[in-house]
């Protein structure tokens, strides 16, 4: 494979992405940048893909250790290649496994995931893309249960979903004794519909807060908030 693979170069690392797996998205970069300050100790990245979130958290938190799990063999191999060529090879371990299996029962201080979310949609054009974007292999219920099993008491988790899926996910979290503490709502512009929601949650309940992030302004330029958030990572922001 690799016919449509490309390189995404950040300030401190570069990642091969796409074919196998999906290409890096702006929303995923926002997830990694917004949540890094909550990440500590032993971290689990569920569905790591090319290794983006693991690398972002490793860059911002040199003391953490990260297990990055990926169900697809070819995608896991791509992630291993990326990590081997990065500054973070001593911080990140790529695991080719299904998070729903009992093979990995370690407990973590922080869990992060940019999971698949399409449900009842037409099949994707290839098997690896089907797994990457459809929730056949990891539904929001599967994810909530996996977090419950692997998160330390008092630990935190951060997840990216469309709002309609996030609402269902929050209900499922409650059934598993987990609670959302913060929301980041991502909008392309101030005039746009909500694109994605990032949640920060824990085993501990507290009053929820909501923050809005607009990627571009009325002149189609990146907003100051977006530039500030991604400045540690994006080459275009000095």
Rounded distance, CA 111 to CA 66, Å? 9
pLDDT at 215 over 90: yes
Average per-residue pLDDT in the chain? 90
Mean pLDDT of 69-79: 95
pLDDT, residue 238, reads 82
Rounded distance, CA 198 to CA 54, Å? 17
pLDDT, residue 22, reads 83
**Predicted confidence band of residue 108 (pLDDT cuts 50, 70, 90):** very high
Mean pLDDT of 167-184: 97
pLDDT digits (tens, 9 = 90+) for 21-37: 789 999 999 999 999 99
In order of 6, 73, 85, 99, 178, the CA distances from 1 in angstroms are: 12, 12, 19, 25, 40
pLDDT digits (tens, 9 = 90+) for 80-101: 999 999 999 999 999 999 988 7
pLDDT digits (tens, 9 = 90+) for 161-175: 999 999 999 999 999
pLDDT digits (tens, 9 = 90+) for 140-169: 999 999 999 999 999 999 999 999 999 999
Rounded distance, CA 183 to CA 64, Å? 24
Domain map (residue ranges) of the chain? 26-230
Tell the CATH topology of 26-230.
Answer: Rossmann fold (3.40.50)
pLDDT, residue 119, reads 46
- Tell me which of 20 and 86 has the higher pLDDT: 86
Collect all residues with Cβ–Cβ distance below 8 Å to 132 and sequence separation of at least 6. 21, 22, 49, 72, 75, 116, 124
């Amino acid at each position: 494979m690799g016919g449509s693979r490309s390189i995404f170069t950040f300030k401190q690392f570069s990642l091969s992405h796409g074919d196998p797996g999906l290409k890096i998205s702006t929303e995923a970069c926002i997830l990694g940048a917004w949540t890094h300050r909550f990440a500590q100790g032993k971290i689990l990245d569920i569905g790591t893909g090319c290794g983006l979130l693991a690398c972002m958290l490793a860059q911002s938190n040199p003391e953490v250790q990260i297990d990055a799990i990926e169900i697809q063999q070819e995608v896991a191999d791509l992630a291993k290649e990326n990590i081997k060529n990065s500054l973070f090879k001593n911080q990140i371990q790529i695991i080719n496994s299904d998070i729903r299996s009992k093979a990995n029962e370690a407990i973590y201080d922080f869990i992060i995931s940019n999971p698949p979310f399409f449900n009842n949609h037409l099949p994707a054009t290839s098997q690896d893309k089907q797994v990457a974007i459809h929730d056949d292999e990891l539904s929001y219920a599967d994810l909530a249960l996996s977090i419950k099993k692997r998160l330390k008491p008092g630990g935190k988790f951060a997840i990216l979903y469309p709002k309609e899926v996030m609402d269902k996910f929050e209900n499922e979290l409650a059934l598993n004794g987990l609670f959302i503490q913060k929301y980041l709502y991502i909008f392309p512009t101030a005039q746009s519909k909500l694109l994605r929601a990032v949640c920060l949650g824990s085993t501990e309940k507290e009053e929820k807060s909501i923050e809005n992030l607009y990627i571009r302004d009325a002149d189609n330029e990146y907003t100051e908030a977006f530039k500030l958030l991604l400045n540690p990572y994006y080459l275009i922001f000095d």
